């Protein structure tokens, strides 16, 4: 193929690419924090004996694991304001959408991890006089962590990749910045190549750190 | 436990169907329920919020600073300046601008919108004030096409962007050709990249894009020396905001009459077309 590559445009617009990368990291950071906290609370609700909490959690998880994230983002951004009259700008919409998506999957991961600890151990700990908090901290969490970390790591990496979907609602993350840059420079192949490289630069070290964590626990 | 989960799934499915059916009935009512006098609010708050979609050189977003320019942006700045209004900007997309306008994210859409009949049922358009040329690119050595109808062959693969003018045109006038319809959120060079990458014989899009792309890519050339057709260009508002629509139309007419609109287009080396109007003295 006689295509002439020209990467000069990258140097010229490095600020745009850097800004896009920073926004991708920002989106990822907040989505991981909110998604993990919400996911953990949903897991507790799902295994709770309170039926209202339990079924609310089940419904929430079914909705947000069942909805494709792209559809969720577009719905939150365009349809929700019509139904509620509540307008929300693109960046918070993306954080909410990504967090809800992660929370649904993380809840199932946390629940599976917590429920993998045999009930007998909890009952034995209670008879030994440990408080519920002590049982969670010393018995459940150390054993559940081993099972939770590998799938949760996978979801975290997936969430980073999913941030690119927020470009459809015009969030100026890495892909959207790249698309704007393409409209000015007419150099799509070079720009998409650099974007792919940046995603790998973000994801590969994170994957290595998460694998080390898996080994540690 | 499994029985309980199955029950929850059934309840959820029923709920989803009810919500979906309700949405279908509720949506148009919700859209048309915005009865606020938009122009009065704009004049009261001194702020006109516009949605834009980037398409250089009419709407340019500086990749490094995010600053907006382009001849359509300069035109709306001029109109706002004369009306002592401040401008607020909301970035939109080609596929999402009607939804952005109708959900009140902005008061008007300022970009090179093509006022198609089906789009006119969703938003109101100003009178077209420019016409954008349409062209394409082919591989540099490909000399098979002399006129647009030469593309209407079963062995020709044409790349277009979903919903864009060329998509509609090719479906109607080039039915024998194979269409490679690219997703509407793709960047505007996508049909042309398909030619560079050997995925299509021809990529069709507006002429300002084909010109810029062919200039920077030696492996392709423009399909024709002149555009094969032109697309009228308008701005958009909500259907109910006829006063705002009049305000924008008057603003455009004013800039046109003073020659400022053409001067702005020339400043940005636009390849768009304008109507040549002949005036003569009534008394003659």
> Which stretches of chain B drop beneath a pLDDT of 70?
1-36, 185-186, 284
Spatial contact of B136 and B76, defined as CB atoms under 8 Å apart: no
A contacts of B187 (beta carbons < 8 Å): 179, 182-183, 188
Chain A / chain B CB contacts < 8 angstroms: 103
Q: What is the pLDDT of residues A28-64, one digit of tens each?
A: 999 999 999 999 999 999 999 999 999 999 999 999 9
A146 CB-near residues (< 8 Å, 6+ apart) = A217
* ipTM reported for the complex surpasses 0.95: no
Q: For the domain bounded by B38-129+232-267, which CATH number is listed?
A: 3.40.190.10
A179/B187 touch (CB, cutoff 8 Å), yes or no: yes
Tell me the average pLDDT of chain A. 92
Q: Report H helices in chain B.
A: 2-32, 38-45, 71-82, 97-102, 117-120, 165-173, 190-196, 207-216, 242-257, 260-267
Q: Does residue A196 surpass a pLDDT of 50? A: yes
3-state secondary structure of A71: helix
Whether chain A has a CB inside 8 Å of the CB on B162: the answer is no
Query: Which chain B residues in 19-58 lie under 8 Å from chain A, judged by CB atoms?
Result: 23, 26-27, 30-31, 54-56
Whether A99 and A163 have beta carbons less than 8 Å apart is answered as: no
pLDDT value of residue B93: 85
pLDDT at B27: 46
What's the distance, Cα to Cα, between the start and end of chain A in Å? 49
Does the beta carbon of A18 lie under 8 angstroms from any beta carbon of chain B?
A: no
Which pLDDT belongs to residue B12?
63
How much is the pLDDT for B33? Answer: 46
The reported pLDDT for the residue numbered B271 is 83
Give burial (CB, 10 Å; 0-12/13-18/19+) of A71: exposed
For residue B278, what pLDDT is reported? 81
CA distance B257 to B281: 16
Q: Do B65 and A82 touch (CB under 8 A)?
A: no
- Return the SS3 of B274: coil
Say whether B196 and A79 touch across the interface (CB within 8 A): no
Q: Label the pairing between strands B229-237 and B124-125.
A: antiparallel
B38-129+232-267 with B131-229: one CATH topology? yes
**What is the number of helices (H) and of strands (E) in chain B?**
10, 12
d(Cα A215, Cα B222) in Å, to the nearest integer? 57
SS3 of residue B11 by DSSP: helix
pLDDT attached to residue A170: 87
Do residues B73 and B60 lie in contact, with contact meaning Cβ atoms separated by under 8 Å? yes
> What is the C-alpha separation between B258 and B84, in angstroms, rounded?
19
Q: Select from B22, B187, B195, B238 the residue whose CB has the most chain A CBs within 10 Å, as the one to mutate to test that interface.
A: B187
pLDDT confidence of residue A43: 95
B104 in reach of chain A (CB within 8 A): yes
Judged by CB atoms closer than 8 Å, whether chains meet at A189 and B91 is answered as no
| B221-246: pLDDT as tens digits | 999 999 999 999 999 999 999 999 99
DSSP state of B55: B
Cα–Cα distance, A19 to B253 (Å, whole number): 39
pTM score: 0.80
Q: Where are the domains positioned within chain B?
A: 38-129+232-267, 131-229
Cα–Cα distance for residue pair A105/A51, rounded to 1 Å: 21
User: What is the spatial distance between Cα B55 and Cα B271, in angstroms, rounded to a whole number?
Assistant: 12
Question: What was the pLDDT predicted at A161?
Answer: 96
Residue B150 · residue B246 · CB < 8 Å: no
Which CATH number is B131-229's, of 3.40.50.970, 3.30.420.40, 3.40.190.10, 3.10.20.340? 3.40.190.10
């Amino acid at each position: 193929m006689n295509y002439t590559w020209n990467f000069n445009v990258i140097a010229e617009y490095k600020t745009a690419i850097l800004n896009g990368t920073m926004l991708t990291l920002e989106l990822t950071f907040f989505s991981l924090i909110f998604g993990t906290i919400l996911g953990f609370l949903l897991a507790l609700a799902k295994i709770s004996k309170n039926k209202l909490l339990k079924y609310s959690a089940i419904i929430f998880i079914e909705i947000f694991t069942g909805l494709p994230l792209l559809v969720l983002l577009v719905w939150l951004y365009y349809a929700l304001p019509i139904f509620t009259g509540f307008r929300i700008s693109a960046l918070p919409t993306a954080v909410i959408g990504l967090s809800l998506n992660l929370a649904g999957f993380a809840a199932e991961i946390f629940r599976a991890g917590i429920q993998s600890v045999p009930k007998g151990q909890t009952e034995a700990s209670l008879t030994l006089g440990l408080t519920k908090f002590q049982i969670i901290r010393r018995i459940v969490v150390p054993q559940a962590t081993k099972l939770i970390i590998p799938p949760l790591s996978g979801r975290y990496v997936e969430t980073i990749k999913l941030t690119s979907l927020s470009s459809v609602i015009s969030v100026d993350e890495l892909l959207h910045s790249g698309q704007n840059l393409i409209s000015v420079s007419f150099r799509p192949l070079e720009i998409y190549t650099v974007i792919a490289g940046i995603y790998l630069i973000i994801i590969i070290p994170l994957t290595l750190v998460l694998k080390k964590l898996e080994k540690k626990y | 436990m499994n029985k309980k989960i199955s029950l929850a799934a059934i309840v959820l499915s029923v709920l989803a169907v009810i919500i979906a059916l309700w949405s279908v009935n509720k949506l148009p009512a919700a859209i048309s329920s915005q009865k606020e006098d938009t122009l009065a609010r704009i004049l009261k708050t001194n702020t006109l919020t516009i949605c834009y979609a980037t398409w250089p050189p009419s709407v340019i977003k500086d990749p490094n600073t995010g600053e907006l320019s382009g001849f359509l942006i300069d035109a709306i700045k001029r109109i706002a300046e004369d009306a002592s209004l401040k401008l607020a900007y909301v970035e939109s997309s080609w596929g999402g601008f009607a939804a952005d306008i109708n959900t009140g994210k902005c008061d008007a859409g300022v970009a090179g919108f093509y006022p198609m009949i089906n789009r006119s049922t969703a938003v109101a358009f100003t009178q077209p004030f420019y016409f954008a040329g349409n062209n394409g690119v082919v591989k540099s050595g490909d000399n098979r096409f002399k006129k647009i109808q030469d593309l209407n062959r079963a062995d020709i693969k044409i790349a277009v962007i979903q919903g864009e003018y060329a998509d509609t045109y090719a479906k109607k006038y080039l039915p024998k050709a194979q269409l490679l319809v690219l997703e509407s959120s793709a960047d505007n060079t996508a049909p042309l990249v398909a030619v560079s990458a050997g995925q299509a014989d021809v990529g069709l899009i507006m002429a300002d894009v084909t010109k810029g792309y062919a200039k920077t890519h030696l492996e392709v050339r423009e399909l024709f020396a002149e555009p094969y057709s032109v697309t009228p260009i308008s701005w958009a508002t909500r259907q109910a905001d006829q006063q705002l629509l009049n305000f924008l139309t008057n603003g455009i007419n004013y800039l046109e009459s003073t020659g400022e609109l053409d001067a702005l287009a020339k400043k940005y080396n636009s390849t768009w077309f304008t109507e040549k109007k002949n005036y003569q003295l009534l008394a003659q």
